[in-house]
Amino acid sequence: MQLADRHVLITGGSQGIGLETARLAVARGARVTLVARTEVVLAEAAAAIGHGAIGIAADVTDPAAVETAVAEAETTHGPVDLLVTSAGVSHPGYYEQIPLAVIRAQMDVMYFGTVHAVRAVLPGMLERGSGGLVGVSSTAGLIGVFGYGAYAPAKYAVRGLFETLHAEYGHRGIYAACVFPPDTLTPGFAAENLIKPPETVAVSAGVKPRSAETVAAAIVRGIEKGKRIITADPGTAALAKGGAPVAAVAERQMATALRKHNRRQ
């Protein structure tokens, strides 16, 4: 799917992966709409991108607000040709200690926030017989990771949604893809590092975080090549393509790192 002269709407677009994806989309000639909660940050992001990019404040957990934002975006830039859902939040911790409200909140933002955005743009795409839907999951949407008992299930749900969207709408001209970023250097990642259990730090110590720019470049390349599974690092690519055997190797590596951490303690 080419981005030139397409309307690209990005949720969670005011920072991190979403913002860097927007920059690249604009560079390829797209008309870009950023959707996020904070008006001031959105305005700064849209101004920094330039080229007519607009920011619309909306909480993705509110379906009516998302529908209103999409309608406003389409008034300015025309029908949404490509949706990228990158709104997300992570609150790592020991599962039994994570408040139920936090678990619900992460599912609301990452899964239902994606659902609301997809449902807002999909009818128009089906009517036109074309469009693209790209959801941002995570490496933790491919394999369970210590400390992500709230985050990983939401990302698994995003993965399942986009596999289903492809099965249901691929033959009707709708491109559906899922992105699996590794640890990525974003403001959200910096915040989660402050509260990670030490075991989580230990099992992820061997994983080099990627920059948001690197992940965004992988996303745009994947979209342009029509890939359904988009990754930005070799380890996640192996997990996504290798299935259970590769996951078993990764699980053993994490278990070894955890044992070493426990012995040091």
110 in any annotated domain: yes
Q: Residues, the chain, total? A: 265
**Residue range(s) defining the domain that contains residue 63:** 7-264
Q: Is 137 a catalytic residue?
A: yes
Which residue of the set 111, 155, 156, 204 is catalytic?
A: 155
181: closest CA among 110, 106, 113, 244? 110
Predicted local confidence at residue 256, as pLDDT: 83
Which residue of the set 111, 151, 156, 175 is catalytic?
A: 151
104 in any annotated domain: yes
Q: How far apart (Å, rounded) are the C-alpha atoms in residues 147 and 98?
A: 10
87 in any annotated domain: yes
The reported pTM is 0.93
- Tens-binned pLDDT, residue by residue, of the chain (265 aa): 999 999 999 999 999 999 999 999 999 999 999 999 999 999 999 999 999 999 999 999 999 999 999 999 999 999 999 999 999 999 999 999 999 999 999 999 999 999 999 999 999 999 999 999 999 999 999 999 999 999 999 999 999 999 999 999 999 999 999 999 999 999 999 999 999 999 999 888 878 899 999 999 999 999 999 999 999 999 999 999 987 788 788 888 878 888 877 788 7
Predicted local confidence at residue 262, as pLDDT: 78
Q: Is 138 a catalytic residue?
A: no
1 in any annotated domain: no
Are 81 and 132 within 8 A, CB to CB?
yes
114: closest CA among 204, 18, 196, 22? 18
Predicted local confidence at residue 126, as pLDDT: 98
Are 9 and 82 within 8 A, CB to CB?
yes
Tally of domains in the chain: 1
Predicted local confidence at residue 59, as pLDDT: 97
Predicted local confidence at residue 67, as pLDDT: 98
Contacts of 197 (CB under 8 A, 6+ apart): 92, 93, 94, 146, 147
Sequence letter at residue 212: A
Predicted local confidence at residue 193, as pLDDT: 92
2 in any annotated domain: no
Say which CATH number the domain at 160 has.
3.40.50.720
Which residue of the set 14, 86, 90, 137 is catalytic?
A: 137
Q: Is 155 a catalytic residue?
A: yes
Predicted local confidence at residue 244, as pLDDT: 77
Predicted local confidence at residue 84, as pLDDT: 98
245 in any annotated domain: yes
Structure tokens at 80: 């949404």
Residue where the block lists tokens 């590092």: 193
